Structure 1
């Protein structure tokens, strides 16, 4: 293993949950080595730090000899303790370790023992539809027969049966491989800068696959899971939330119907499928119900509450609070779940970090704490490593904040730099150009003329949205620009900060919006 630097060790420690830290401390008591107290001091010191300063760290432990080696040892020991926890013990681990045992027995020429071990592993792999392990295990059958038995005790029917099983396992792996690789290709297309052809490219990928048959309950479980994941992501990228939600529900239902032993193996997929449903729930009510369902099902089931799932639940829950204007609940929730926020901040996923800080900026904007909103942008979202997925809406939000604060001189300077920044990277969408143009006009006009310009721009953007497909409306799920203009035009609170997903987007005409406000006012009176 390469030398473990302090930052790498710190990252690993910060991903540990409370129960994992507790297990680690108990696990280390079994280690009878000199220096145990020292590495635990290093562990405790790094665990308390939000950010690690290498110089301060070296100064803190300057009297420790072999500090670099101690860090290596601590890193390995943490991983070893995690491997020994029930959370990380599963069928895959059993099969991997079994293959290592099989290799050792074979090299020692214990061929009968090797054959017995192989039969045990094959039984487990077949029972759990392990598409990656089955070809390797069938390969081992031929290795052993060729090495030891020389096929002396193999009649033709057994040979043909073994060949058929090996062939089927390869075909299953190829099918799994096809879904997996094309899913990867779709995800890559999302990151591709040339988004104009994304719909056509995605449809080119999926047209080579057969139509989904919800009545077909046969086939390898792992492949069926991968197929539903593939179709779910395809629908999600095309912003077809109803289809995406359908495939997620299909996956949840399929897993529910598995026999108990198989369900134990795929239980993790069940919880993750429930979590995925949150992102395409057809209404806020469904979103709230799905969050409640997954929290109920995972309560106490720490085996399946990995960091990824915990982060997903937190982000969807804060979305619910932001979408309903429950800002007090938002603040209370993140105070209660500081441990999960810490996981996000130290996560290896740039997406989750960027998403968290953007939502935090939205929250500060929602409560009109402009200073903290701008500070969040400057400290976290202005960084060069932040993805444009979150950087662009952050930049537009900064522009809107300057306008609401009536910092028109500052906004004029910002618009020049902002436009230059975007044009260097990729073409602006029409609504983005219209928003920048709108701001340019507003800062030059007296306040009394702002309403007319806002009404005209709103109409132009709303008309434009009727001419494009759902995938091209993605910018609306980061901020509700139409809703913001309505709040400025009609002087009403701006509650709907963004859309949950494009499946629930409905842009009223200016007349419909006005009539709704009049009706709401009459009802209140």
Structure 2
């Protein structure tokens, strides 16, 4: 086993929880083979290592020979996967379905056709409940095989039903492929640039969407097709900043899952994504009471019957918990409390979480936490967290966040009275925005304001310039594409805080109280 594969084995072992490790040991000991005991010894040795070190393994256990180690590691990897599969068998709908299909196949090979068909009926029932169209199609293929390879080729009605089911499921799979392919294409573009920036991008995305999606009669779609369709709508409407439409699609998606408990239990991660989409829409539209209610659903996932919280779901839940906790403080404007509750209480856990998240999610955390500190008036911390975005090695992801991270960093340096730093950063920010084709009126006005600070205006003149900048920016709130800038940073409230000589937190809290009353 190569070094890369050894690291794979090490990561797999470290991913196991205590119950899985305990089960694995029982699983191996039940075989009673001498080879299995040696593999178990290797498992224990690797499990105790903080980092994988093959030389140290061989030093600590002379019975492990270098010539054997590669095969032992490969065997151990396979056995761990088998034990995990067995341990989670009752909790994984797809695995249960496949088990019944395998049983049916074995019985057919024994010519025990009725027993095999009984297993297929169980498998089909589970596949329908879990919404697994691919396995339904596999089951139908086996049913066809039985009709072909037995003397009884079935009644006309049986044959017609199988043909009808095949055609129906194939059509559903084709629709789902179209919806999901379009969704990942749009998501890929969103992950690169963020929200659309101008009419040219909007028309390009809109044209691609409407020419790719087939004619749809929604009332004729199956529940599974609707799930993929609503997911697609959510992503599309969010991308083009049509949040009301995205909110409606997210509502329908959540309601659809909740109307089918068995489907929800078998697709809990997809349900979490639906709740996340609804929370994002409620946050953007300031539907605070609904946001709190949906957030409560998110925190009550473990109360759903028969739900198993695996490691993937646990990480996703933690990500959503923290992101929407921050969003809730954004909605109320209580940034200081957000810092106290989230960062002072959970910064270590958040940093550990960020170590295992994808780069896109990490960028979002950096940005939201930086804005939380900015709102609380802790500008040095805001600069520190924005640095996590500015200094990322891959500059082709979320160009919008990278651009606005630089703008907010400049404003934070203004608050810290770092005039020399501002002079340097303005030039580099101009170059970056031009390179990313994101130099719009919002950015031009702010950079122009900061650029003129070199003449060191007195307090009265500075206040006049704040008023002038606010008056330049206010009309942009009604601009179809310029208004997107205010999704990233409430520049108007910051300017009002400078004009009125109050904290930006006080200004935003005041507006939030009026909006939420």
Question: What's the counterpart of residue 278 of structure 1?
Answer: 279
Distance 2:415 2:7 in 1: 41
Distance 1:97 1:429 in 2: 58
TM-score by length of 2: 0.79
Question: What's the counterpart of residue 309 of structure 1?
Answer: 317
**Alpha-carbon offset, residue 170 of structure 1:** 0.9
SS of the residue corresponding to residue 160 of structure 1 reads helix
Distance 1:199 1:409 in 2: 39
- Residue 474 of structure 2 is aligned to residue 465 of structure 1: no
User: What does residue range 34-433 of structure 1 map to in structure 2 within 5 Å?
Assistant: 34=38, 36=40, 39-40=43-44, 42-46=46-50, 63-64=59-60, 79-80=81-82, 82-86=84-88, 89-101=91-103, 114-146=116-148, 148-149=149-150, 152-191=152-191, 195-196=197-198, 197-204=200-207, 205-206=209-210, 216=219, 219-258=221-260, 261-262=262-263, 264-266=265-267, 269-281=270-282, 282-283=285-286, 284-299=288-303, 303-304=308-309, 305-323=313-331, 324-334=333-343, 337=346, 341-342=350-351, 344-378=353-387, 381-385=390-394, 387=397, 388-433=399-444
In structure 2, the CA distance between the partners of 1:184 and 1:497, relative to structure 1 (3 Å rule), is: farther
Distance 1:190 1:119 in 2: 43
Distance 2:369 2:81 in 1: 32
In structure 2, the CA distance between the partners of 1:370 and 1:437, relative to structure 1 (3 Å rule), is: same
**Alpha-carbon offset, residue 111 of structure 1:** 6.1
In structure 2, the CA distance between the partners of 1:367 and 1:428, relative to structure 1 (3 Å rule), is: same
Q: 2:447 aligns with which of 431, 436, 444?
A: 436
SS of the residue corresponding to residue 123 of structure 1 reads helix
Q: 1:453 aligns with which of 462, 465, 470?
A: 465
**Alpha-carbon offset, residue 380 of structure 1:** 5.9
**Alpha-carbon offset, residue 409 of structure 1:** 1.4
Is the 1:3–1:68 Cα contact (8 Å) retained in structure 2?
no
**Alpha-carbon offset, residue 491 of structure 1:** 1.5
Q: What are the ranges of 5 or more consecutive residues in structure 1 without an aligned counterpart?
A: 47-51, 500-512, 521-525
Q: 2:501 aligns with which of 474, 491, 494?
A: 491
Q: How many residues align?
A: 483
TM-score by length of 1: 0.78
Distance 2:413 2:73 in 1: 47
Deviates more, 1:341-350 or 1:477-486: 341-350
**Alpha-carbon offset, residue 412 of structure 1:** 0.6
**Alpha-carbon offset, residue 12 of structure 1:** 5.8
In structure 2, the CA distance between the partners of 1:333 and 1:440, relative to structure 1 (3 Å rule), is: closer
